[in-house]
Structure 1
């Protein structure tokens, strides 16, 4: 579900023509739909029914404060992977007791900040991290609840770079190691082990790997309890896929909810999930404008003012994004193989190769669909390009929620040394 549709021959975001945004804000610009964010969050809630589940939004998928605040207003917590994301979540209105801190390489400074804010949970991924956290929390006079991220050796996800549950992955710890660390944690000051966590990858449509991972967790809970350990919480991670191509059917959320109910609910534990992309991907588009068209070696190119620094997924993951003209094409217009690229000095700055689409003229507005996840949050200043603006739409209202970066802001932190 996305609230971006053609009306009267123009692409709209909810009840706002996106051309209006482009003309007033410029391009490239990200546009987010509050209604789409709300729809996907509520769809997850509905799939889980009356289960005792806490939903912690994966901030890394979209770091804009307006997006986080929109979800926080619905009761969402935050799944974070850095001190910066914890600070973002709190600033956007997420209560610290709803924040989870994940990640394989947390620094001492980050752990100090997380503990000092009394966050809900820290997910532990190594013995060094466990002992460091114990020292930090003890020094601060705190007791931090922790879970151990276990590695079920289950491969899942839409790309090798987002598959995180293999036994050779940098993430998590083995089942055997988890038993050792759970017992070790119970002897340490400053930490309280309360459960386990798992996250096997992203862009999961087939539910079988998730079912396998949940069964792995359930058996671990039984084994831990049989050895006298208390287990009151399971973090099921995220990974449910967003749909980038309309002809592809997404994960069956009702069936997923039934799997959670059948495997996890009988364990009488607090359940947490950490969705990101499934909520935000289809809630955002990236508006761009064509600069020039050209032909080289029999291939037709359209060069946009958006580039891989604005939306890196196609270059980095070979990812697909539907590309729509803001002005609705006339029905029956012949489609031609077109290669869509950005202006950056890299051949890899390519969004689509020989894609069949209606002709794009110079100075024409286009929209990359399903760009709300890992779009702006992965953007950079490569080629000294300013970061794009971000806009939030709510019904017939819209507002700039992050202005376009200026060159003074890009260069303002730099200093030329005086070696005299």
Structure 2
């Protein structure tokens, strides 16, 4: 469910026409719906309501501070994977005791930052990280609460670049070595074991891989408890997918996911932490772009947009699909045309879609890429010295620019010429 619908032939974000925003801020831009963000967060809290739980939004999917404040005000915790994301969570007013620090390469400086200002837990990924965190905690005179991320060697059945739970992936420790690693953690000073962490991948479209992983976690919980470890939290990561193609069958719903967690782990009496990103933010956002040219090729027509791969890299990086809609609705009887939808960057990879059926379009028409709220703006760059595009948040009939487009002067002034040139 989202709040991007046609009204009187014009695509709206809640009660605001996207064409109105385009006239005010220019194109391309990202637009997010506060109502969609709110509803998707609430779906997870409702799904986990039978159990003690905390829903930690995965900041890596959409890191704008205004969005983080919206979710934090609703009660969300935050899952961060860098010192920068940790700072964003604090800037959004999220309490440190609701921030979880994940990631395979935490530096001593990042550990020090989080221990100094407060942290709910570190999700530790390796023995060297355990030892480094212990040393930092001792130096600061702090206690570092930890879970250890286990790799259950489960095939998430997702894109190879976003699968994280197989033994060949870089994440976590092999689950068959968990007992010895937890023993080492217990022996190290200034570490406090609070639970277990697992995350098997992103954009999962079926529940069976989750079930495999969670059954292994349940067994490990009982084993570790028998050895005297206090396991009070289970961090289950995120990964539930969204329907990028409306014609495909829908992935499992949060309530089905919650029922699975209750069935496989509910008997353990642990607090459940989950870290959804994509399912909260993905369908909350669209990318709006303008047609620059319609180019007639020898065997195809090209729709050349003012958005490019630097603005939305997922199609180029992952071969990802995004539905594309005209902002002004075509008449029902309009016959679709086939376009290769491309951007202006000098790369053949700057292609959003091939042979995509769309209503006939012409220069200056607006189009919207659906499901662009997750891993859109956060992965953007200034390749070709193209400014990062604005982000806009809509609530009801109001909209606000929550990240402005930088001027070329601002971009150029970041560079400096040495005195010897």
Deviation at 1:411, TM superposition (A): 2.1
Q: Aligned with 1:351: secondary structure?
A: strand
Q: 1:158 offset after TM fit, Å?
A: 2.9
Distance in 1 separating the partners of 2:255 and 2:89:
29
Partner of 1:55: 55
1:287 matched residue in structure 2: 288
SS in 1 for 2:368: strand
Write the deviation string for residues 90-127 of structure 1: whole angstroms up to 9, x where unpaired: 10111110000000111111111111111101011111
Name 2:347's counterpart in structure 1.
346
Which position in structure 2 is the counterpart of 1:298?
299
| Aligned length in residues | 420
Contact preservation (8 Å) 2:18, 2:327: yes
Output aligned runs, 1:196-275, within 5 Å: 196-248=196-248, 249-275=250-276
In 2, Cα distance between the equivalents of 1:50 and 1:74? Answer: 19
Structure 2 distance, partners of 1:57, 1:69, is 11
CA contact (8 A) 2:51 2:271 kept: no
- 1:2-401 matches, within 5 Å, as 2-248=2-248, 249-401=250-402
Aligned-pair distance for 1:20? 0.5
Measure, in 2, the Cα distance between the counterparts of 1:138 and 1:413: 38
CA shift, 1:228, in A, is 2.1
Report SS of the residue matched to 1:321. coil
How far apart in 1 are the matches of 2:419 and 2:379? 34
Secondary structure, in 3 states, of the residue corresponding to 1:201? coil
Task: Determine if contact 1:236/1:274 at 8 Å carries over to the other structure.
Answer: yes
CA displacement 1:203-226 (0-9 Å, x = unmatched): 112100001110010000111112
Distance 2:328 2:322 in 1: 18
* Unpaired runs of at least 5, structure 2: none
Distance 1:157 1:136 in 2: 38
Cα offset, 1:157, TM superposition: 4.7
**In the aligned structure 1, how far is the partner of 2:50 from the partner of 2:135?**
39
Q: Quick one: distance in 1 between partners of 2:49 and 2:95?
A: 23
SS in 2 for 1:264: helix
TM-score, normalised on structure 1? Answer: 0.98
1:405 is aligned to 406
Preserved CA contact (<8 Å) 1:157 1:239:
no
Is the Cα contact below 8 Å between 1:134 and 1:189 reproduced in 2?
yes
Provide the secondary structure at the position in 2 that maps to 1:261: helix
Tell me, in whole angstroms, the C-alpha distance in 2 between the residues paired with 1:173 and 1:185. Answer: 13
Moved more, 145-154 or 404-413: 404-413
Q: Residues 124 and 149 of structure 2 are in contact (CA less than 8 Å); yes or no, is this contact kept in structure 1?
A: yes
Distance 1:369 1:255 in 2: 24
How far is the alpha carbon of 1:148 from its aligned partner? 0.3
Q: Alpha-carbon deviations, 1:287-339, whole Å to 9, x = none?
A: 10000111222110010000000000000010011111111101111111110
Q: Which range moves more in the overlay, 121-130 or 262-271?
A: 262-271
**Partners of 2:193 and 2:229 within 8 A in 1:** no
SS in structure 2 at match of 1:131: helix
Q: SS at 1:186's partner residue?
A: helix
**SS of corresponding position for 1:71:** helix
Structure 1: 5+ residue stretches without partners: none
Structure 2: distance between partners of 1:349 and 1:142 = 48
Q: Alpha carbon RMSD of aligned pairs, Å?
A: 1.0
CA apart distance, 1:31: 0.4
Measure how far apart 1:395 and its partner are: 0.3
SS for the counterpart of 2:74 is coil
